[in-house]
Amino acid sequence: MSAHDSERYGELISKLRDVHLLESTSELLSWDQETMMPPAAVDHRANQLALLASLAHERATAKELGDLLESLPENMLDACQDANLREARRSFARSTRLDAKLVSEIAETSSRAQHAWAAARQDSDFAQFQPWLEKMVKLMQLKADCLYEDDMGCAWDALAEEFEPGMRAQNLANLFAPLRTDLCKLLDDIRGSSRQIESTVTKIKLPISSQENMVRAISEQMGFDFNRGRLDRSAHPFCGGSHYADVRITTRFSGDNFLDALGSTMHEAGHGLYEQGLLAEHLGTPMGTAVSLGIHESQSRLWENQVGRSEAFWLWCHAQLPKFFGEAFSDFTAPDLYAASNRAEASLIRVEADESTYNLHIMIRFDLEMALIAGDLSPEDLPSAWNEAYCEYLDVEVPDDRQGCLQDVHWSCGLFGYFPTYTLGNLYAAQFYDQACQELGDLPTSFQNGEFHSLKTWLNEKVHAQGMRYSAGDLCREVTGRSLDSQGLIRYLRRKLEPLYGIPSLGVDSSPGD
């Protein structure tokens, strides 16, 4: 790189970091809105977020930034610089297609819509939220019109590009079809088994303060650094913050099901470990940013499921429980807790779903939001469409809106195109964990001893430190040597659930595919 190019590249990084400062400030205000902000502040907060969104958009689309991106050479020999330039150009191209007024309106409306959603969910009354959903759908349709490109198959693709670059609805449909068949077969096998798992352990009433102490300690054991992070409560668990040294995770608690808080916290701590694992020297640039939401979800789901629902984890965790709950679990063995954490049953709530049914919840949302954005489903008809889908996919009746179409915050935030990343995360997690076991050896014995550092370090090096150097698909191939498929997840689920439920093995190959 010439001295002139080096100077201009430095200017580019400086401008990207200025945009990041504004965006990360918005993220902190959004975190505060969900955790600490008094309800009466919602109008002013909406205006604050709208202004910050406008300022960030103004800087992200500035002519000076465009000139820098155009003037720099295609290949600067350094892989990190090339990745930063490639992704900055992609982001600039998308940002310049969006009108500043639309960006501001989306930010303001989503802030108000989240408040309306929380109230409607509390009252289990979709009618309260319906006008806001209608506004958000219209805004997302306008956004999709701005961002649509010739290689996209539908408007939804333009929105999904923000979360999983390169993924298309048709690709997902092709990936989900065999996965749904295999999951439904597994669920039928579980339902047909004479061996069922007791749920007594999930009905023990426990002090919220003790649960909070427990999940905080386990997050720390996983490697979450509380000098660079926080754990708080929110209606819907999430991971936020502003950068690698300020990572905010939230969880929620139930008085009589500690597994809910444990799973939610390990999930969000997995996100937090990714954020804390991004390299400091790349702060504010694509190389200091997670590659996609699917990869991000792979980290949260891996810690929640492959680790937190493993037999080895419970052999360790069972011995820790008296520190927090005294004799509350004295009648339960580690195998009892392991079985309870893997109890499979069709249910209503996505975040409480077991691994065998979770992805069916995602497929329902994928179908519905595709229809909303395409205009094939009117927002007012969402509750009935939702209820029908739950009967079809999971054979469960939805009793009310709170347990139905109001259970997720995502659409109030305008996060259309986001939901499939959860299933992509499960698929990536299965392949990453397989590879980690091959390279690190006996991980279960480590977990049984409460040692998670080797897995965290492996993920830091293989995934987190890579930033946006690779696309999500290329990262999967780089780490595992294989393209993404659904069979790794099915093998993992069968290996675990067949013995627990006494299901005759289908003889699914336990080794990774090609």
pLDDT in tens, 182-204: 999 999 999 999 998 988 888 89
Catalytic residue among 268, 275, 304, 369: 268
User: 39, exposed or middle or buried, with CB in 10 Å at 0-12, 13-18, 19+?
Assistant: exposed
pLDDT at 256: 84
User: 36, exposed or middle or buried, with CB in 10 Å at 0-12, 13-18, 19+?
Assistant: exposed
Res. 76 pLDDT band, cuts 50 70 90: low
Residue 348 has which token pair? Answer: 């209503």
pLDDT at 16: 96
Mean pLDDT value of segment 55-82: 89
User: 265, exposed or middle or buried, with CB in 10 Å at 0-12, 13-18, 19+?
Assistant: buried
Contacts (Cβ under 8 Å, ≥6 apart) of 476: 428, 431, 432, 482, 483, 484
- The tokens 């590659």 sit on which residue? 291
Mean pLDDT value of segment 71-80: 81
141, 398 Cβ separation under 8 angstroms: no
pLDDT at 5: 82
305, 353 Cβ separation under 8 angstroms: no
The per-residue pLDDT for range 251-279, each reduced to its tens digit, is: 999 888 899 999 999 999 999 999 999 99
Residue 388: active-site member = no
Q: Are strands 246-251 and 239-243 parallel, antiparallel or unpaired?
A: antiparallel
Query: Looking at the chain, how many residues does it have?
Result: 514
pLDDT at 341 over 60: yes
Res. 507 pLDDT band, cuts 50 70 90: low
DSSP β-bridge partners for residue 232: 250
pLDDT at 513: 36
What phi-psi label fits residue 72: left (phi over 0), alpha (psi between -120 and 50 degrees) or beta? Answer: beta
Res. 505 pLDDT band, cuts 50 70 90: confident
Mean pLDDT value of segment 297-307: 97
Quick one: how far is CA 396 from the chain centroid?
A: 25
Determine the Cα angle at 124 with ends 121 and 126, to 5°: 85
pLDDT at 198: 85
Through-space distance between the first and last CA atoms of the chain, rounded to whole angstroms: 39
pLDDT at 512 over 60: no
Res. 74 pLDDT band, cuts 50 70 90: confident
**What are the CA-CA distances from residue 140 to residues 52, 193, 417, 475 (Å)?**
19, 45, 10, 29
Mean pLDDT, the chain, as a whole number? 94
Residue 448 has which token pair? Answer: 């049984």
pLDDT at 390 over 60: yes
pLDDT at 4 over 90: no
Mean pLDDT value of segment 133-140: 98
pLDDT at 77: 65
The per-residue pLDDT for range 162-174, each reduced to its tens digit, is: 999 999 999 999 9
pLDDT at 73: 85
Stated pTM of the model? 0.91
% the chain with pLDDT above 70 = 98
Res. 504 pLDDT band, cuts 50 70 90: confident
% the chain with pLDDT above 90 = 88
Mean pLDDT value of segment 13-41: 93
pLDDT at 514: 31
